[in-house]
Chain A
């Protein structure tokens, strides 16, 4: 039972100069069962990254707590892997060394880690790129390396902060399929943050639409498009009538929020 549970999470940043307090997150409560795929949407500044950082253990909440499988999160850990927007690869290492970084830190037997690296490079479609320097890879390939680097450690939860934000439309669609495949095959719990409503709907089994000031979960959806994405092509789903209806609804919601912010600001 490795459920991810957030109870009354609060996160407030205090500007040390002005003393002004920003309530980045207020009273966040949710439970994510093992193997669920959650996507998070929301206007800029509503606390999405903050939420992810809390779960990853990079930040400590002001109050409340997040726990994974009953263990309170109080720092970064192997069981929670993170994929960043820009990959955050180690450019001085070739692809395979990037991927087996976590294994080397654990001093895993080299022969075993070589196997694992082979396997994961294969899965993300980068077979034969093991010795390539990462700076010679395209953006999409870099994101796949980052994914493999995270997965090779076999984490329980994968956290992704706008992982596909910097990719072109075509690569992006391929990567979305890859994420869905991985989700199906590994059965991992995944949280993915995105700015694209379409992406959130396609990938999310559950979807949180967050609202800013204070950062909170505005509305929650349960969707079946991710399930369908495993068998149908994403293009087909995007033409689905229901898909478009939900998309319009969420878009309007976010538009309204943005307008409110503008008006206030």
Chain B
């Protein structure tokens, strides 16, 4: 079932998108009609105007879903399942050609040579003007100036087309020819191309985890794949072309010799420390610029015009060969498109971090699958399932081991023949440790349950301890003044600021997280119970006094019920805050829980899983709130009517 859904998710998406569109249009039509009907007897600003309008909610949901489908490429994948594979093949060509483009105006606005000339000339000027006159003698200064002007002449020689070596000219022509041949091939049509069996056997896009299949599965893809392979040759050729004007060869060896001489003088050790440092640094600066100029990467500008044109031609041919793919990509695949990097093709732009709705559902189903061996759950724990919980574990949890220590006598010692026969005290200890079989009971299990359980335990403790304290603080000067400083000091600290401290004290076990949440819940419960208690009308208290109630009876029968609305509102707020804090605490530390899943998903960039956890947390938070709203409506119908 899950597999089947998984394999056909593109098809499902296609149907759902159509339904969403229909829903969107229908609800808007309905909404318009209703708006026209009610328009005449409504006054702007009347709060009643916001009542109802479920059809707008419907169109809102449809819009949201359609936006999600669109920007995650869910629509594109549903209707053009091979498009991404073709985009991947085009991306392969782009990947190969990009180093050539980067050196040309077509890819970088300027020729790379132009940029090199500009930068190196600038630096030569700077170095020349910063010559340290106190570190070098006058003759040396003259020599250095001569050296710098020699280095500068390297730039001049490289930029002159007359000096372009014949070999370089030949290779550039060859490159243009190669590129033109590629363009020809791209324009040659798709005749005779068909995908290999191996390519067709690849998993389809959207059935494996995420990947776009990398081998071409269409004729157009084959064409681009082939051209990309050939373009590799051209790229290699381009990388190897160098411009070494004959005039530069002698200059280079001359400069090298001069620099070596300076270095030798520097190394003689007859300068004081500062002068020495200045001299060494200056010679090094000149040498650094020289090194960048002696490798023949500067070309006369016009000499590369041919290559630039050929690349432009290749781009035009590419667009021609893409044909309808270009339009489809522009409309249905918003973002940067597909980028090929080393061994894989990946979606870029919104589609990268916004997974497709269908993939999120598939990931959720996988996560929710309780069959761990079958690949379900996460890190060996199901999302939400049940298990047999040994009763002994519970006993271990509730009975501390020191109970056994209280029993009179000693624990058993091994006898002279090496045997051990446990006495009652030992058995007591085993019991307290849960080292025995007492049967098992079914219990809930899983990441989700762990998270919920932590919140529930903390809430339970918070209510159990916080409400009585709050009530007493509401009626007693001592309680109010004694506990006020404590609570008011720790409460304003954001719970997450406590987290590092508490998690260090308790370690990664549940205790720390529960304690952290308890702190949150406790403060909220105390404050709400206190507000509720101190808000009791004096006349009610007096009435109950006149009716013969004792102080304790008044507390229980008047003040508590009177504070109930505030207390339940407090519970509602506390659950929300606890839930928020818990997920963050689980991200900090832990081995189970929804926050834990998200944290691990983050480290491996599993965007589907990140979104699954986000949605789970949202839904559960909403569920908690709805339950509390329902409870409040049911248990305190008198709220606001006293």
What is the interface of chain A, defined by CB distance below 8 A to chain B?
A: 56-58, 75-78, 80-82, 84, 86, 88, 90-93, 101-102, 104-106, 133-135, 146, 149-150, 153
Contact = CB atoms under 8 A, between A and B. Distances in A.
Nearest to B636: A92
Contacts of A146: 543
A84 to B, nearest CB: 5
Interface stretch (B44-52, B180-188, B548-556): B548-556
Interface size class of chain B, counting residues whose CB lies under 8 Å from the partner chain:
20 to 34
B461 to A, nearest CB: 26
Interface stretch (B114-122, B496-504, B534-542): B534-542
Given A92-B562, A92-B564, A106 B548 contact: yes
5 contacts: A56-B542, A81-B546, A88-B543, A104-B557, A133-B638
A135 B543 CA distance: 17
B192 interface: no
Given A91-B641, A135-B638, A78 B539 contact: no
B539 A88 contact: yes
Given A105-B548, A135-B642, A92 B561 contact: yes
B558 interface: yes
A78 B542 contact: no
B505 interface: no
A133 B637 contact: yes
Q: Which of B540, B545, B548, B557 has the largest number of chain A CB atoms within 10 A?
A: B548
A82 B543 CA distance: 7
B548 A88 contact: no
Interface in B555-609: 557-558, 561-562, 564
Nearest to A88: B539
Contacts of A82: 542-543, 546
A106 to B, nearest CB: 6
A106 B641 CA distance: 28
A33 to B, nearest CB: 22
A75 B642 CA distance: 27
A123 to B, nearest CB: 18
A56 B546 CA distance: 8
Contacts of B642: 91, 135
Given A88-B539, A105-B553, A135-B638, A58 B561 contact: no
A55 to B, nearest CB: 11
A102 B547 contact: yes
Contacts of A150: 546-547
Given A88-B542, A92-B564, A149-B543, 8 more contacts: A56-B542, A76-B546, A78-B546, A78-B547, A86-B539, A92-B562, A105-B544, A135-B638
A80 B548 CA distance: 10
Nearest to B537: A88
A95 to B, nearest CB: 13
A84 B539 contact: yes
Nearest to B558: A90
A93 to B, nearest CB: 8
Interface of B: 537, 539-540, 542-550, 553, 557-558, 561-562, 564, 636-638, 641-642
Q: Which of A57, A92, A105, A135 has the largest number of chain B CB atoms within 10 A?
A: A92
Contacts of A86: 539
Contact of A90 (B540, B550, B636, B641): B540
Nearest to A75: B545
A90 B546 CA distance: 14
4 closest Cβ pairs, A-B complex? A102-B547, A76-B545, A88-B539, A135-B641
A101 B550 CA distance: 12
B638 A78 contact: no
Contacts of A75: 545
A150 B642 CA distance: 19
Contacts of B637: 133, 135
B542 A149 contact: no
Q: Which of B543, B545, B553 has the largest number of chain A CB atoms within 10 A?
A: B543
A76 B554 CA distance: 13
Contacts of B545: 57-58, 75-76
Contacts of B557: 90, 101, 104-105
A230 to B, nearest CB: 27
A146 B546 CA distance: 12
B568 to A, nearest CB: 12
Contacts of A84: 539, 542-543
B208 to A, nearest CB: 60
Contacts of A133: 637-638
A76 B547 CA distance: 9
Contact of B542 (A58, A77, A93, A134): A58
A78 B549 CA distance: 9
A153 B546 CA distance: 10
Nearest to A80: B546
A17 B28 CA distance: 65
A93 B558 CA distance: 10
Contacts of B539: 84, 86, 88
Contacts of B549: 101-102, 105
Q: Which of A76, A86, A149, A150 has the largest number of chain B CB atoms within 10 A?
A: A76
Contacts of B550: 105
B638 A92 contact: yes
A153 B543 contact: no
Contact of B544 (A91, A92, A101, A135): A101
B154 to A, nearest CB: 92
Contacts of A77: 546, 548
A76 B550 CA distance: 11
Nearest to A135: B641
A193 to B, nearest CB: 14
Contacts of A90: 540, 557-558, 561-562
Nearest to A104: B557
B256 to A, nearest CB: 95
A239 B447 CA distance: 82
A47 B382 CA distance: 72
A58 B542 CA distance: 7
A157 to B, nearest CB: 11
A194 to B, nearest CB: 17
B561 A101 contact: no
Contacts of A105: 544, 547-550, 553, 557
B548 A153 contact: yes
A227 B558 CA distance: 39
A56 B542 CA distance: 9
Contacts of A135: 637-638, 641-642
A264 to B, nearest CB: 30
Nearest to A146: B543
A149 B636 contact: no
A88 B540 CA distance: 5
Contacts of B561: 90, 92-93
Nearest to A86: B539
Contacts of A101: 544, 547, 549, 557
Contacts of A78: 546-548
